[in-house]
Structure 1
Amino acid sequence: MSLIKKTVMMKKINFFKQQISRGGILLLALMLSIGLTSCQPDDTGGVEATGPPSITSVSLTARDSTTTVGIRQNSYTIYGENLATTQEVYFNDTEAYFNPTLVTNNVIITSIPEDAPYFDTSDELRVVTSEGVATTSFMIEQPAPRITSFAPLAASAGDIVTIQGEIFEGLESVRFGDVEAEIISSTTTEIQVAVPEGIVQAFLFVETAGGISQSTQSFGFKFVVYDDALAQSWWIGGWSGSEDFESTERVKRGDFSIKRTYEGGYSGFQIGNGGAIIDLADKQAVKVSIYGGNAINMVKLVLNGNYDAGAVITINQGEWNDFTIPLSQLGSPATLNEIVIQEFSGAAPSVIYIDDLGLI
């Protein structure tokens, strides 16, 4: 064979080798492409949504049993059909967050928003997908009420106490201890009630459809000096007058009051603590009710003999007068040793009646 023919033959062989090599590479690339495609994750759990969604049940994510009532900020699992293309979830028209990567054609995991309404609402769970909308009846449980404050801290029967707080919707009752109070008015954040008869000290309780809440501070006296009887270990002093600790002539509350007869101008009613030290660190004021008799219109309240820091009180005659005097206006004493109520009109003889005396 001539040299020219051999050269042509070798070129043809090399050409065919190149074509075979290129074909093998193309075939390998095609096989890898098919393999990678088949390994891609299926976000729909292997099933495609073929129609409008439907909801069959809802359960608390941490439990197996289903429910139709939910609590704010808790996680729930929604079960149904054709849920794979879920776009939005609503509780009572408030949009809820869900992780789309955890959605399958039959399950959605979501949580009730903190601000989802619970009172006077649609009571509806709504799921929106690319294929349609599904709804089901679902209530959000009302949280328990919260009491943040109330004023005044102490008051007489029939007086109005204002309670501040939140979640007071669906108000059912307000109690002073075990005694139910008359509700005068209420909003979602404020309640006004009349103080029931016979309350000396009690915690306040607010009850709604969501539960019962108790005030952190008690209403009324933190320490009672007199309510039908003088506190144990207290002594009786005074000058230019007399007193009856079981008078029934004028009574503010209970069975008795103290009748003080001033026999000379600027005479004094005096009582003192002969028992354990009474710390005033957690006390704010002295509360007392005084009935003014004839010929008297002013008295002076003094603690621990500090007459320079005493509070002069104006009294209306012929009626009960309720006074709350801050300790800061009485010299800010650290302890309570003695109480004086001095006649300060300069008129004698004169009479007052004292009831419900204590610290708040």
Structure 2
Amino acid sequence: MKIQKNIWLLLGVLIATMGFYACDDDDDPADSSPITVSAIYLQDAESEVPDREVPFARLGQVIRIEGSGFTGLRKIYVNGYDTYFNPVYVTNNNILLRLSRNTPTIDAEDNVRNTIRLVKTGTEYVYEFEIRAAAPQISKLSHTLPQPGEPLIIYGSGLVEIEKVVFPGNVEVTEGIVSDEDGEFVTVVVPAGLTESGSVYVEGANGGAYSPAYFNFREGIILDFDGNGQQGYWGDAESMIVPEDLKSEVIGTGNISQGTYVPHRPDRIESFGANQNRLTEVWTAGNDVDDWRGQLTPHIPASTPVNQVAFQFDIYVPDAWANTGFLKILLINSYNGGEWSGYTYNYVPWIVEKEVVPFETDGWVTVTIPFSEFYAFSEPEEGESFTFEDVLLARENATYKNFGFYFENSDFTLADVTGNDSDETEFISSETSVDVYTDNWRVVPLEQLVYTDFPAEEETTEE
């Protein structure tokens, strides 16, 4: 893995090597001096060739225009679009320019498509240069442990006319792919024979993209209620979910249940009362059984930043869930319920962008929560950073090393969810009999390869 560099650091180095010119004279002859362009270079700090001459560039990329006569530049139009540029990054022989994602490509007028127009007070110059749409991006997968024959929805942007989906192990699918017209998702049927884990790759009209490397990551399963990992339970409290509470009937549409799973409201509990916490709890075995370091660090180095490692699980909610109740995810067994702090994370799927949006699923879907969202790791002190090692140490130093879930049904405010004290909206709990099922608890990497138009070079890792 190569450490990602900040693109603007590269720009600073490039600028430092250039000579700068400035003039306050409105009649400066430079305003009418001829403009020429000799070449265009892609500026990519992640690349093995950070200043590469290219025949085309994509929206969102930074280019360096090399030539002469740039002093006095007033306007730059890319495909006819008035593109912002910073005069600080302009010399007589070089221009550094980020191609706006608002630039039209195939929708540009014929007479300006694939052109860069440089305008000064007394002259202008048009350079023919291919401008392509931004490469697609994958933001998430609907299910990262689907079964063969089930649908997989790949979400992101720029997913237009996807022609090929490649699964880990180089298993390629070219038939039955359905792309959204707006490029926000693509659907494909999961093929048989998948044995490896890693990224899902898509390729279409705008180029290619990789998902995070968490597809089929069975190496990270800490509990699936079917033999991988061990459930822990003790005492006779009504809240404790025991093996007799688990279910194995096939449920879900499209993506169906996989063997045994946990109902967070077992059949023996008719409903949950309002303003109560730790209503049910389900745990891994913990002490002397769980071994995260031994199991996970061969695949996810302890030095990995916490925003690049996640807890993942599959969930099924057959009926609308809204206004009350949430799942508390606990890194260790050291909490009584009601906390919005420490080694916990409260999963409230029915709040989306500060609004109540009822949550339900037709089938099973995957939830991904980076460890950087667990409250203890969410706000590092200045100069501090957390790694997966901190997660491991938190568990190893705990008195009770069980990992688990509570179902909670207490009152809370929007500020509890967002961390913004000004979000004062209150959510008052009420009695609920919502059904929430989870399965396949796992820890996964979020490493994500960056697509390159120049495959001969080594691909890098996005952070």
More strand, by proportion: 1
TM tier relative to shorter chain = 0.3 to 0.5
TM-score by length of 2: 0.38
Determine which structure has more spread, i.e. the larger CA radius of gyration: 1
TM-score by length of 1: 0.47
Query: Which of 1 and 2 has higher RCO (CA within 8 Å, sep 6+)?
Result: 2
